[in-house]
Amino acid sequence: GFDPPHQSDTRTIYIANRFPQHGHYVPQKFADNRIISSKYTVWNFVPKNLFEQFRRVANFYFLIIFLVQLMIDTPTSPITSGLPLFFVITVTAIKQGYEDWLRHKADNEVNGAPVYVVRSGGLVKTRSKNIRVGDIVRVAKDETFPVDLVLLSSDRVDGSCHVTTASLDGETNLKTHVAVPETAVLQSVANLDKLVAVIECQQPEADLYRFVGRITVSQQTEEIVRPLGPESLLLRGARLKNTKEIFGVAVYTGMETKMALNYKSKSQKRSAVEKSMNSFLIIYLIILLFEAILSTILKYAWQAEEKWDEPWYNEKTEHERNSSKILRFISDFLAFLVLYNFIIPISLYVTVEMQKFLGSFFIGWDLDLYHEETNQRAQVNTSDLNEELGQVEYVFTDKTGTLTENEMQFRECSINGIKYQEVNGKLTPEGFTEDSPDGNRHSLMKEEELFLKAVCLCHTVQINADQTDGADGPWHANGIASPLEYYASSPDEKALVEAASRVGVVFTGTSGDSMEVKSLGKSERYKLLHVLEFDPNRRRMSVIVESPSGEKLLFTKGAESSILPRSKSGEIDKTRIHVDEFALKGLRTLCVAYRRFTPEEYQEIGKRLHEARTALQQREERLADVFNFIERDLELLGATGVEDKLQEKVQETIEALRLAGIKVWVLTGDKHETAVSVSLSCGHFHRTMNILELVQHKSDSTCAEQLRQLAKRIKEDHVIQHGLVVDGTSLSLALREHEKLFMEVCKNCSAVLCCRMAPLQKAKVVRLLKTSPEKPITLAIGDGANDVSMIQEAHVGIGIMGKEGRQAVRNSDYAIARFKFLSKLLFVHGHLYYIRIATLVQYFFYKNVCFITPQFLYQFFCLFSQQTLYDSVYLTLYNICFTSLPVLIYSLFEQHVHPHVLQSKPVLYRDISKNAHLGFKPFLYWTILGFFHAFVFFYGSYLLMGEDTSLLGNGQMFGNWTFGTLVFTVMVITVTMKMALETHFWTWINHFVTWGSIVFYFIFSLFYGGIIWPFLHTQDMYFVFVQLLSSGSAWFAIILIVVACLFLDVVKKVLYRHLQPTSTEKAQLTEAGSGINCLDSMCCFSDGETACTSVRRMLERLMGRCSPTRVNR
């Protein structure tokens, strides 16, 4: 997003744009209501896009070369570097232009949507883009809001409406928004037109859940001021539900709406491979400059001799004799630069882009990553990071909803110091026997009833509106309830309200400002006075209600760390013990408390709340103070324990990650004990592990002392594995002063668990590891809005399509439906993508070294006269046509090890960690190989044709073009065959492009050399190729040189495999022996029975190699 330039901190909005008549009033300028998500316009597309593309080193370099070719007399035509550059730039521009056109289309659809606005006493239909700040807008049921509105009135008497914000933060529950009472009564257009009111509110900001403002309504003589908060702001993009129509006044429009400010321009994440690619480019630039300088110096050394400086057949012109030495030197240097420039592969970028873009489809298509129950498949939001999935060293995962299902079930509770469980829809004290007849426990005791009422009143649960129509709603004549359908923003609340209704205290909905509770069949109405919303810092929420008897009560529920210290009576110690017992069982715990107010206290509170809520400056801080003032001297009622089930196969996945050498950190907001017990149950901590704790430190010194002791313990017993538990407060202390020490301890622990973490702390921990000296590759996986900062911070962010909405998915690079899919994503897709792209990059550099080195060697035989060895058409097409397809197809389909083997042996993942295949050694190997092959091509051809041998039957001799063509032919065949040697997984497409490339080269050359082309100024290649192929010895030479090149390669491979096989190569051997054959790999991405399986079995029976273990894999 962007911050709009505003002079003042607040904006003043005159409703319906009724500006004050008297005095000099200068209206503020506001943005119009157009949404612009596109990057380019028709006018700036070309300059802006070109600028972005030429920021790439290789593109810019080729542009310079092209300009040099235009300016000076160079050996090759400008087309040779201009055409590939033009091709690359055009392809990228078309792709980006198309994407942007789609954005424009979407924008126009949104901006042109019809809306109704109140103008001069009537409803006017206009387009969304014409709404101005201050307009009163009408929105009907199931429509989305076109701007950020402050709610004025709805079709309900109390001015409330229901909204879903699924497209903003992914929460599917209904949220209630309310209008201020003064405007809520104005339910018709005519009445609204008479409204005179002013809204003052803060300038736009991106936070969806924050809004600070006040409305001043002028009635007859007085002015009434009311606070406006998030509950009266309807956000653009949200949808109106269960409400016929609402009227609201536009406060933020267009690019200043909260939705637009949240269009986070994602910071570009770059993969490690791209960084290696750039460093290789620099090395090759150095080689290029070295070759050019060497050639230039040798040229002048050579020309120092008189007879070579000006031979009799090539006398200098007057102009050449008089030109300055320095200029001549520079132009010669530039000419050599142009001659050798192809050592830098321009098409590498395009091929890599295509590989990433096309390759990312495979993740979405993979059936193993498809979740049937929710009908969700894996999603790829960023295709730039595919290979990074193969490099992960640390996994940071959220607990709730990521490792667990986020489906809560009420298990037990503690009321007044006694533990209860739910048995057959009744609350039963622990140890209480059910043998006696039903009679003795039909009514609830007073404490139990109060506790259940607290649970039923202190929440933000909604009831499906279709069920609350009659006053008696879902209750039938016989008093039996049809189960109500509850909506809640947090699954915990829903589980608790549902449990209470099963036990006999039923929340039957809200009407107006009162909440209805049916306790054992008799209905009670509680008037809702205030809601003190939940926030992560307080970790609790409260409601203030007036009971039917007129008492003012405060009900609070929240984390035990925030409730118990504020309680002054009730069974505090017993409850604390129970809470810890619940936590040890892995239950999520909440404490419930209440407080009675005297009328005087209540007045004081009402006044303070109103002041804090109407403040325009520092509203949050003031509210926090007031909330603290209200929520104290509580009387503890009890605690609840709710279970969150583990997702399936979490244990196996975490174990596999550990085998692959990946360290797993769990970062959660949960209680210490709950988190530890879940960690044990999901296999993150083992029972045999020595668990070290760094918790509940208040001061720096104790924290440091503890850290030193832990470090000492780890050094002493390094035999067993250690697990570390840290909580949020200790963590912030440890990070403040003792970062090094803390990192030392963490690195020596095989599992780390951080509990009680705030969202930003999660991101801090990720950043800390990311920037540590080893620079490990990190992956963060989470499902809620609280994980977004950590997902954006890590190198790879993965969102889980869970119950907590779509926020995480929208901000992630990849999205999957379940945690267990992570293993396939990393061990199979990540591994294969990395191998593919690593080979792709190295091979590209190799084929260009092969291509240009003969050109350099040729200069020694032509007096450094910058004569080119190959024809310029060949120069242009080598990278575009003759050698590009086999490597692209390889980089899409290669599976060097079968996917099933990769997944069942996570250890293989270690073979590619730390960017092993793009290190300096493999790079050196490929470069030297390229130089070696180039020498063989050149000197092999030279030895054959060298001393004026006549190779044609009629005694004619070959010219230099024929020599060059011979070298080029050998080169195209060798380079293509080298790719074939690298390929382990052959599909018909691989065969088609590999052999097709060679055939295409021959056909093209015959066609190109067989015609006189009128637009070429020289016909150098006329009939050269046909002549070359009519010589038997040339054919012999081609075969001999190709075999000589590749023979050493094959020998090296065979020797290495037998003497020092890597574990990947061993896996390839076991796979070859295990009957996973090519028939099966056609269905490589399916797990169960497929069409291929039965065919495979039949064939295996025929071949007689069927054993039961083999069939089921």
Q: Which residues are catalytic?
A: 398
Measured N-to-C along each axis, helices 884-893 and 988-1009 cross at an angle, to the nearest 10 degrees, of: 170
DSSP tag of 371 = B
Most distant pair of Cα atoms in the chain: their distance: 127
**1006 three-state secondary structure:** helix
DSSP tag of 443 = S
Cα separation, 554 vs 547, in Å, equals 10
As a 3-state breakdown, the chain gives helix, strand, coil percent values, each rounded to 5, of: 50, 20, 30
Residue 487 makes CB contacts below 8 A (sequence gap 6+) with 173, 174, 461, 462, 463, 464, 494
The side-by-side arrangement of strands in the sheet containing 663-667 is 379-380, 814-816, 796-800, 778-782, 394-397, 663-667, 751-755, 722-727, 690-694
Cα separation, 100 vs 54, in Å, equals 19
- 952 within 8 A of 1031, measured Cβ to Cβ: yes
Token pair for residue 1056? 């290495």
Token pair for residue 55? 């920021």
Helix or strand holding residue 814 (H, E): strand 814-816
Cα separation, 551 vs 953, in Å, equals 117
Q: Which residue has the tokens 């080598």?
A: 878
- 349 within 8 A of 60, measured Cβ to Cβ: no
- 562 within 8 A of 538, measured Cβ to Cβ: yes
DSSP 838-861: HHHHHHHHHHHHHHHHHHHHHHTT
Cα separation, 668 vs 1011, in Å, equals 73
How far, CA to CA in Å, does 202 sit from each of 10, 229, 492? 4, 11, 33
- 636 within 8 A of 569, measured Cβ to Cβ: yes
Cα separation, 477 vs 363, in Å, equals 56
Q: Which long-range contacts (CB under 8 A, 24 or more apart) does 1030-1038 make?
A: 1030/952, 1031/951, 1031/952, 1033/944, 1033/951, 1034/951, 1034/966, 1037/940, 1037/941, 1037/944, 1037/966, 1037/970, 1038/966, 1038/969, 1038/970, 1038/973
> Quick count: other Cβ atoms within 10 Å of Cβ 925?
13
Token pair for residue 888? 């692209």
Residue 207 makes CB contacts below 8 A (sequence gap 6+) with 258
Pairing assessment for the beta strands 245-252 and 148-154 based on DSSP bridges:
antiparallel
DSSP tag of 959 = -
Phi and psi of 734, rounded to 5°?
-65, -35
Per-residue burial over 54-69, b if 16 or more Cβ lie within 10 Å, else e, is: eeeebbebbbebbebb
DSSP 507-555: EEEEETTEEEEEETTEEEEEEEEEEEEEETTTTEEEEEEE-TTS-EEEE
Cα separation, 113 vs 126, in Å, equals 8
Residue 198 makes CB contacts below 8 A (sequence gap 6+) with 12, 13, 14, 15, 215, 216
Helix or strand holding residue 837 (H, E): helix 831-859
Token pair for residue 541? 């929420």
Token pair for residue 348? 């590498």
Per-residue burial over 1063-1087, b if 16 or more Cβ lie within 10 Å, else e, is: ebbebbeebeeebbbeebbebbbee
